[in-house]
Amino acid sequence: MSYEQARASKNYSSLLYETFNPLKACNVFILQDFSKLKDKAQKQAILNRLKDYFRIRKQLSLHYEIAKILEAQLREYTFYDYGEGYFYQSCRPIHITGFRNTEARIAGMQLEKYVTGKTVLDIGTNAGFLALEVAPLCRIIEGFDSNLYLIQVANCVKSFLKCDNAKFWAGTFEDFNHEPPYEVVLSFTNHSTYDHNTKQSIEDYFQKCHRYVSDGGYLLFESHLPNYESKEQLKCVLECLQKYFAIDTSYVLTRGTQGDKGRTFAVCRKR
């Protein structure tokens, strides 16, 4: 008998069809009917599917929660969100693909080397997915963003992941006035923004970064994509940065998605 014939002759229990809907699958009727099922293989299939759902059951309500925030953002947020109503950053622990690959960025920048055991500030943290990914390495990581909806997502995911050393709040860098300074400040594609929410000049931006990096600390810089920031523009940006920081290392990133590759990364020591 061929595999197709075997499948065609198989009389699947209606219970199997019931389990196609993850939200219905875990209810008590399924479990009662399951105990009456005789076919061993079908029982195993259903059991395995329920096990899969059980593993991600907490994520189903998390995803529902963050989908509601994205929906509100779509209705109420009048600025560009960088994620096209979805997500700019990926978050592997909760299966969000995003447009940019958080793991590839972290590996390409060798962030582990710079943030381990440090107090870190992430300017324009977006949904906080990159900050949350490196949080287990850091002593403390704090991030803020002008987009309140993304900060709500960051705080939902932070609670879900039980990431106690991460802190997120909504606000602009222009209004930022925390003390004391941080050992490492992340400036990832934030020295200028396309949403018209950055009001300060590039010079003011790096001067302010300088104020918030502790003596002996680092600013980690990532540029925009070359088609948004030409070689000449990037040269001007880096000239301005170097008034306040000395560049220890700088290279072009080659890992990740089309949105990740081709950006310049620089490790900058406070002058």
Ligand X SMILES: C[S@@+](CC[C@H](N)C(=O)[O-])C[C@H]1O[C@@H](n2cnc3c(N)ncnc32)[C@H](O)[C@@H]1O
CB closer to ligand X out of 173 and 245? 173
CA atoms within 13 A on the CB side of 229: 19
CB closer to ligand X out of 25 and 130? 130
Structure tokens at 6: 């075997």
Q: How many Å is the Cα radius of gyration of the chain? A: 24
The 245-252 sheet, strands edge to edge: 166-170, 140-145, 119-123, 182-188, 213-222, 264-270, 245-252
| b/e per residue 96-120 (b: at least 16 CB within 10 A) | bebbbbbebbbebbebeebbeebbb
CB closer to ligand X out of 46 and 121? 121
CB closer to ligand X out of 173 and 244? 173
Least separation in angstroms between CB 91 and ligand X: 11
Least separation in angstroms between CB 111 and ligand X: 12
CB closer to ligand X out of 175 and 232? 175
Whole-number Å distance between alpha carbons of 89 and 129: 6
Residues that bind ligand X (CB under 6 A): 82, 89, 124, 126, 130, 145-147, 150, 172-174, 188-190, 193, 195, 197-198
Least separation in angstroms between CB 224 and ligand X: 8
Pick from 152, 120, 122, 154: nearest CA to 137: 120
Contacts of 12 (CB under 8 A, 6+ apart): 42
Tell me the residue number closest to ligand X, measured at CB.
124
Least separation in angstroms between CB 6 and ligand X: 50
Least separation in angstroms between CB 125 and ligand X: 6
DSSP strand pairing (264-270 vs 213-222): antiparallel
